[in-house]
Amino acid sequence: MPVTLKGLRAFSTVLRYGSFTRAAGLLNITQPALTVQIRQLEEGLGLKLLDRTPRGAEPTAAGRELARSLEPLLQELDHTIASLQDLAARRRGVVRLAVLPSVASGLLPRAIAQLHASHPNLQVRVREAVTGQVYDLVRSGQVDLGIATDLKPGGELSLQPLFEDRILAVLPPGHAMASLAVIPLPSLAQERLLLLETDSSIRRLVDDAFAQAGHIVAPAQEAVYMGTLVSMARAGLGIVLIPSSAAEIHMAPELAVRPIGHPSIRRTVSLICRSDRSLPPAAEALVEKAREAVAALGAGEQMVPGRRPRAGDRTAGQKSREADTMTVRGEPTVT
């Protein structure tokens, strides 16, 4: 006869209250059913554990020995089960997230704030990283979830599109191109450009777009942070190319911002996870809040909720040619 958890709990309850009748009531079973569970436990161990006396149920020497080890084990098991139930119900948990800096400063704070509002005991540990590093961190299991642009991840990683945005041009004060509704990409090749450093996925996207248009650009300045580039544009040092979803685009409201066209430059930002592992409940909750944040920001045309690239799109998320009609800051003059 196998020893079961049900039988061990029955023995512990009888021992605690010294009564089969009271223990049966607490376990919500009949007294005969409880007697059967105790008998089966004793048969499984090959030892008598309880004696019935006029004073109630009393443990034998073997019963006392079992009780000394059993009670703390059952308490630890109950604690573990309760803890796992809290995880499942999202009452506690930690999300380890690797994310692009442009998303960390734009979409992510809203998503985390919404997560804390609905699940105040969930924690998010954020690691900012460029796209290649995000993939490596997810692949190695150092984080539960990544948010980055699309690459060819291989079979061990799964991608779910989160949103699509576009690259915009932030113009320095008084720039002549502020009169244009859409700035043609080839026209930018002749300008002083302020670009992110080459390990950035945004920089690779921009370089690829110029190369496909037949241009190789040498930036006037490079920087690690988009905020630095916007400050340079404010000082008149050149034109910044920046994603529409980036928070830094609002740093200098006095500067004109224009979409790029013919072709436009777009990127798809995706959720990245291990295809052979399930997301923890806390990570699932963050994904839900991230999608809600995308929907809210998408109402302002900063981003489009996730979809996979359509047929006819350029590689790396670019469209080959389209007429951009995005509302941007600093309307062009009508001539």
Q: Which residue has the tokens 């990683």?
A: 157
* All domains in the chain, ordered by first residue: 5-88 (1.10.10.10), 93-164+268-315 (3.40.190.10), 166-266 (3.40.190.10)
CB neighbour burial string for 246-270, b if at least 16 within 10 angstroms, e if fewer = bbbbebbeebbbbbbbbbbbbbbbb
Q: How far apart are CA 115 and CA 286, in angstroms?
A: 6
Burial class (CB in 10 A: 0-12, 13-18, 19+), 126: middle
Question: Measured between alpha carbons, how far apart are the two ends of the chain, in Å?
Answer: 93
Q: How far apart are CA 131 and CA 266, in angstroms?
A: 16
CB 138 within 8 A of CB 160: no
Confidence of residue 323 (pLDDT cuts 50, 70, 90): very low
Which amino acid is located at 289 in the chain? K
pTM of the model: 0.68
Residue 80: count of CB within 10 angstroms of its CB: 10
Model confidence at 78: pLDDT above 90:
no
The distance of Cα 88 from the centroid of its chain, to the nearest Å, equals 17
What are 237-274's pLDDT values in tens digits?
999 999 998 889 888 999 999 999 878 899 999 999 99
What are 282-314's pLDDT values in tens digits?
999 999 999 999 998 764 455 566 543 344 433
- Please give the average per-residue pLDDT across 141-157, as a whole number: 85
Nearest Cα residue to 251 out of 222, 220, 224, 228: 228
- Rounded alpha-carbon distances, angstroms, from residue 49 to 33, 38, 52, 62, 151: 17, 8, 10, 6, 63
Model confidence at 335: pLDDT above 70:
no
Q: How far apart are CA 27 and CA 14, in angstroms?
A: 10
Our CA angle for 257, 262, 267, nearest 5°, is: 70
Model confidence at 325: pLDDT above 50:
no
What are 15-59's pLDDT values in tens digits?
888 899 899 998 999 999 999 999 999 999 999 999 988 888 899
For 229, the token pair is 């580039």
- The residues, ordered by sequence, that sit 6+ positions from 134 with a Cβ below 8 Å of its Cβ are 98, 99, 100, 146, 147, 148, 272
Question: Hey, what long-range contacts does 4-7 have (CB within 8 A, 24 or more apart)?
Answer: 4/40, 4/41, 4/44, 6/37, 7/37, 7/38, 7/40, 7/41, 7/44
Q: How far apart are CA 62 and CA 46, in angstroms?
A: 10
- Please give the average per-residue pLDDT across 139-154, as a whole number: 86
pLDDT attached to residue 11: 92
What are 168-223's pLDDT values in tens digits?
999 999 999 999 999 999 999 999 999 999 988 899 999 999 999 999 999 999 99
What are 110-123's pLDDT values in tens digits?
999 999 999 998 89
For 316, the token pair is 């790396």
For 161, the token pair is 């599109």
pLDDT attached to residue 278: 87
pLDDT attached to residue 328: 52
pLDDT attached to residue 326: 40
